[in-house]
Structure 1
Amino acid sequence: MSGHSKFANIKHRKEKNDAARGKIFTIIGREIAVAVKDGGADPNNNNKLREIIAKAKANNMPNDTIERGIKKAAGDAGSVVYEYVSYEGYGPSGTAIIVNALTDNKNRTAANVRNAFTKGGGNVGTPGCVSFMFDKKGMIIIDKEEFDMDPDELLMIAIEAGAEDLNNEEDSYEILTAPEDFEKVKEALETQKIPLASAEVTMIPQTYVELTSEEDIKNFNKTMDLLDADDDVQEVYHNWDE
């Protein structure tokens, strides 16, 4: 097991803010629509849809809302078409930021993302300009309050299923996997009836940037707030050491 890690809150900060405003339901609704159109309405035969349903339930989305979203996407061939887009750029003091969006209007989304960077004193860069600073990993978080298994036993189950590491944090265990092993490890834990607080493939910074200027911190938070307020934005990753 490794020592304390900093990345657990990087993406979840946004999701908690979104959940407080109910925006997460809009985000998940779009993801359900895309998953159904790409792979069908049966989660048993659509891994992506199954992942999104798990995410919806983790965010307390009602089952009937999930089912309505699936049925609507399956029966509405003429509905709005969404597509995934990604932006990379720099915030204050060279902080690296990756923005993933799901949009029906790429011009609108690009303008909004560019505006968020500019107002925070940063700029959008070219594709690949900062993503090389991150590693794509599966990350499974287990809340210690919901879990009473010995951590060594948990580590053994995870490693045997293909996990790379387990971080023992103050209030949780964080299991890391290669992206291609994520589903296998997740299913192994679920088979053991281990409750998962969250499970997703995410982007983890290789190094972190400290912001010492109050102005830089203010500008960085301004960029994050503007991105959080944009309905098209699905995920934001960064390497600021908060």
Structure 2
Amino acid sequence: MSGHSKWANIKHKKGKQDALRGKIFTKIGKEIAVAVKEGGANPESNSRLRDAIAKAKANNMPSDNIKRAIQRASGELGNVNYETIVYEGYGISGVAVIVECLTENKNRTAGDIRHAFDKFGGNMGTTGCVSFMFDKKGLIIVEKDDSIDEDELMMMALDAGAEDFSSEEDAYEIITSPEDFSSVREALEAQGINFAQAEISMIPTTYTKLDNESAVKFEKMIDMMEDNDDVQNVWHNAEFPDGWGE
């Protein structure tokens, strides 16, 4: 299946993020704080922090917010130990779903995620039940505009170490290995390229097409999960109906 399905899903997700900007900033702030706790407050020596900052910028998080998140991190997380936990399961129509969380209370988070699956016709599974249907990759999305030359961008990306470059309907999609993500992103950033999305992602190798009725139910499940403060990322292999969310 073409990469268009990926971008359609990303674009759809981005629209929801625009509507929930404050909550997105809070989640990214949490990600920045964990990165600072793990590797220090200097982005130059902390690649996880650099990646979190890039994600923040791609989501239009103001520089002042990013700076404050870094400054607050050590104090805020002094007595809180967040743990990364990944849940897997199936949504309606057998859509594969991976939910990545940062939590200080595993029991609460597991209960919340299980409830979201159950409420909308899905079920939470065991570790590994759907992750084999995804590849962990660096994903960089650059929206098309007249100032960007496709061939030039492709050469920049491939020269920097990208694995793949594709031109979708209204964006360019750059895929990297997880290990090369930071260096490719930084090389493009140095050339003045702005990103609609830049993060390590779980990219589906196959997709499950939804009809309108199933899509409505599935979207409600994803919204419930993304509204949870413990949830950092939700990845899935749903292909929404044509024109969905426009």
TM > 0.5? yes
AA at the equivalent of 2:5: K
Q: Which residue of 2 aligns with 1:222?
A: 220
Show the counterpart of 1:179. Answer: 178
Inter-partner Cα distance in structure 2 for 1:152 and 1:122: 43
Shift of 1:78: 2.8
Choose 151-160 or 93-102, whichever is displaced more.
Answer: 151-160
Q: Partner amino acid for 1:235?
A: N
Secondary structure in 2 matching 1:55: helix
Shift of 1:5: 2.5
AA matched with 1:222: K
1:24 corresponds to which residue? 24
Identity %: 56
Cα shift readout 1:125-149 (whole Å, capped 9, x = no counterpart): 000000000111111111222x624
1:183-241 residue CA offsets vs partner (Å, 9 max, x unmatched)? 22112212322223321111111111122372x33331221121122111111111111
Write the mapping of 1:69-108 to structure 2, written as runs, cut at 5 A. Answer: 69-76=69-76, 78-108=78-108
TM-score, structure 1 length as denominator? 0.90
Secondary structure at 1:88 match in 2: strand
Hey, what's the Cα distance between the residues in 1 that align with 2:150 and 2:212?
Answer: 40
Q: Counterpart of 1:173 in structure 2: which amino acid?
A: Y
**Partner of residue 189, structure 1:** 188
1:157 aligns with 2:163: no
Q: Unaligned regions of 5+ residues in structure 1, if any?
A: none
**Matched residue type, 2:220:** K
RMSD: 2.0
Tell me how far 1:17 sits from its aligned partner: 2.0
Instruction: Report the alpha carbon displacement of residue 102 of structure 1 after superposing the two structures with TM.
Output: 0.8
1:8 matched to 2:16? The reply is no
Q: CA deviation at 1:4?
A: 4.5
> Do 1:99 and 1:236's aligned partners in 2 also have CA atoms closer than 8 Å?
yes
Change (3 A) 1:9 1:188: same
Provide the C-alpha distance between the structure 2 equivalents of 1:190 and 1:36, rounded to a whole number of angstroms.
22
CA contact (8 A) 2:7 2:168 kept: no
Distance 1:123 1:136, change over 3 A: same
Tell me which moved more, 162-171 or 230-239: 162-171
The answer to whether the 8 Å contact 2:58/2:198 transfers is no
> 1:34 is aligned with what amino acid?
V
Q: In structure 2, the residue corresponding to 1:102 is in which secondary structure?
A: strand
**Is there any run of 5+ residues in structure 2 with no aligned partner, and where?**
241-246
The residue type paired with residue 192 of structure 2 is: K
Distance 1:74 1:38 in 2: 10
Say whether the 8 Å CA contact 1:207–1:239 is kept in structure 2.
yes
- The one-letter amino acid paired with 2:224 is L
Q: Distance in 2 between matches of 1:220 and 1:55?
A: 25
Give the letter aligned to residue 170 of structure 2: D
SS of the residue corresponding to residue 66 of structure 1 reads helix
Aligned residues: 239
Query: Is the Cα–Cα contact under 8 Å of residues 93 and 211 in structure 1 kept in the other structure?
Result: yes
Alignment check: 8 A CA contact 1:15 1:24 kept: no
Tell me the CA shift for residue 169 of structure 1.
Answer: 1.6
Which residue of structure 1 lines up, in the alignment, with residue 244 of structure 2? Answer: none
The aligned counterpart of 1:141 is 141
- What is the alpha-carbon distance in structure 2 between the residues aligned to residue 104 and residue 39 of structure 1? 19
Deviation of 1:165 (Å):
1.6
In 1, Cα distance between the equivalents of 2:147 and 2:14? Answer: 26
Question: Aligned partners of 1:149 and 1:200: how far apart in 2?
Answer: 21
Q: Which moved more, 1:217-226 or 1:170-179?
A: 217-226
